[in-house]
Structure 1
Amino acid sequence: MCGRYVLKATLEELERKYGAVQEGTFTFSPKYNVAPSAQMPVVLSHEGRRVINLFRWGLVPFWADSINTGYSMINARCETLAKKKSFSKPFRSQRCVVPASGFYEWKNTSSGKIPHYITQKASSLINLAGLYETWKSDSGDVVNSYTIITTPANKPIQNLHDRMPAMLADSELRIWLNPENQSEDMLQDLLHPWPDNDITYHRVDTRVNNARNTGEGLIEPYQDLFS
């Protein structure tokens, strides 16, 4: 699962990383506690070029009655993408990359859920595999939204949770972002647990539990003041 994440990069850094251009007019600053329903940058292919847009986290299917459907669709399991009504169409041709610096996961313990911050060792930006959709209300409002795909957890993450976000190598982005690539087998081959030796994590303070708490200090290692 991926229920909170971090993006420390600026728009300019994202443009350089992905060879993409900003689409539309918007501003963005680093976020250290991204929660569902937040408007966040995603990278996708539009008219043959890579663009960066701000979409809402929590996919709202085009056929949904209400935007609130998105709260239950922040993640999509890789094993059922082609079978689920909500995800099969986006999986074929509406794929995106969700840039992240890292993500949070909570470990169940006898003392309660303990938050941890997880990131890659070899990269400052993680390419999370995502799907996007456009929804229109009866009154004509348009909402662009996305979901983050998950895979079974690799060995390090299994200490915290049984699922993890699907991460893409830079070399795989060309295939993933091309809407003309509609081979389910080819796309599924890209969705697998990230290598064990390129994952690191540490415990963080429970302040991250509250989405209203923000700031760089949230990702700092937890310090027990009484130890």
Structure 2
Amino acid sequence: MIHCRNLTPNPARPIRPGSESFFFFWQPRAVCGRFTLRTPAAAWAQEFLPLWSEEEIAAAATEYAIAARYNIAPTQSISVIHTEAGASAGSRRQWSLFRWGLVPPWADDLAIGNRMINARSETVHEKNSFRKAFVQRRCLIPADGYFEWMKTPDGKQPYLIERASGGMLAMAGLWEQNKRVSSSGHAIRTCTILTTAANETTATIHDRMPVLLEGDQRDAWLDPQQDDPTALRRLLQPASNDLLKYAPVSRLVNRPGNDSPECVQVIDAPQPSPEKPPPKKPSRKPPTKKTPPTAGDGSQATLFD
């Protein structure tokens, strides 16, 4: 078997699926809190690791015990594609397992990552927790679908969002390493997924979506020599409206402990529609008499308030 260098598994032990701690993370209005990676590694890894041989990919998949995943949740170890800070342009990409939920290097508690599964692309360059990783430690997170939830009279209905033409999605992410929270003294590597405003296709389900990078955008995002925040932020845009499709799926996915093909089984359910704002409450203040604008007072006359 070929030895794959730089493939040390994440020493952080993820919470076991089905444990009570998992239920903290089901927040249907949180962006990209679950995703899938059902595609065999031999099929997707070549797309993300162009300089790797088939033998190296197979060896890594065996070492990491990669299997089809139908309901990936926060705190679990996930596949991450990255380069090391300071590497030369065009350097060989690495495939590692990082814990999902970024823990900044200054943090003393691993649980802080529970609140950092996502980072908003509009402010990521300003936040102390993400600012350094944004210019030094960027990554791609392979997925072939992600879940969002819509409120219905019968409860929250999950929808699986996938590439319309089939195939893989590359979610933009950041990663960090922290020695302070590890009892063994080894650095624990963690990651987060960047989000942006939803495109027209997915906005009826949720107003945010993960940043999905295509083609040359992936190379630019992983370029270890790129440290210009302005140039990087230009990559963080909503996906094109024709990139994705969605379908309602079984509510088995609502429970993080479920991780089986039934989680992505398409069902009959209402089609998403834009959420209506709640009706305005009547004001208790007495109505004020408005003085109509007069000619020459500099105001703009209008028939509407």
CA RMSD of aligned residues (A): 1.7
User: Does structure 1 residue 13 correspond to structure 2 residue 78?
Assistant: no
User: Does structure 1 residue 124 correspond to structure 2 residue 167?
Assistant: yes
Structure 2 residue runs without a partner (length 5+): 1-30, 270-305
Letter in 2 for 1:5: F
C-alpha distance in structure 2 between counterparts of 1:98 and 1:144, whole Å: 14
C-alpha distance in structure 1 between counterparts of 2:167 and 2:215, whole Å: 12
Partner of 1:69: 112
Partner of 2:189: 144
C-alpha distance in structure 1 between counterparts of 2:215 and 2:261, whole Å: 26
User: Does structure 1 residue 28 correspond to structure 2 residue 71?
Assistant: no
Displacement of 1:187 in angstroms is 0.9
C-alpha distance in structure 2 between counterparts of 1:20 and 1:10, whole Å: 18
Residues 158 and 150 of structure 1, relative CA distance in 2, 3 Å threshold: same
C-alpha distance in structure 1 between counterparts of 2:199 and 2:118, whole Å: 17
User: Does structure 1 residue 89 correspond to structure 2 residue 132?
Assistant: yes
User: Does structure 1 residue 187 correspond to structure 2 residue 225?
Assistant: no
Q: Does the residue aligned with 2:224 lie in a helix, a strand or coil?
A: coil
Determine if contact 1:127/1:170 at 8 Å carries over to the other structure.
no
- In the comparison of the two structures, how many residue pairs are matched? 224
In terms of mean alpha carbon deviation, does 128-137 or 114-123 score higher?
A: 114-123
Q: TM-score, with normalisation over the residues of structure 2?
A: 0.70
C-alpha distance in structure 2 between counterparts of 1:214 and 1:73, whole Å: 23
Which one has a larger percent helix, Structure 1 or Structure 2?
A: 1
Q: TM-score, with normalisation over the residues of structure 1?
A: 0.93
Displacement of 1:217 in angstroms is 2.3
Displacement of 1:29 in angstroms is 0.8
In terms of mean alpha carbon deviation, does 137-146 or 83-92 score higher?
A: 137-146
Q: Which runs of 4+ in 1 moved over 3 A?
A: 20-25
C-alpha distance in structure 2 between counterparts of 1:50 and 1:13, whole Å: 17
Determine if contact 2:252/2:262 at 8 Å carries over to the other structure.
no
> Please, which of 235, 241, 245 is the counterpart of residue 196 of structure 1?
241
Partner of 1:112: 155
Partner of 1:37: 75
Letter in 2 for 1:196: N
User: Does structure 1 residue 133 correspond to structure 2 residue 176?
Assistant: yes
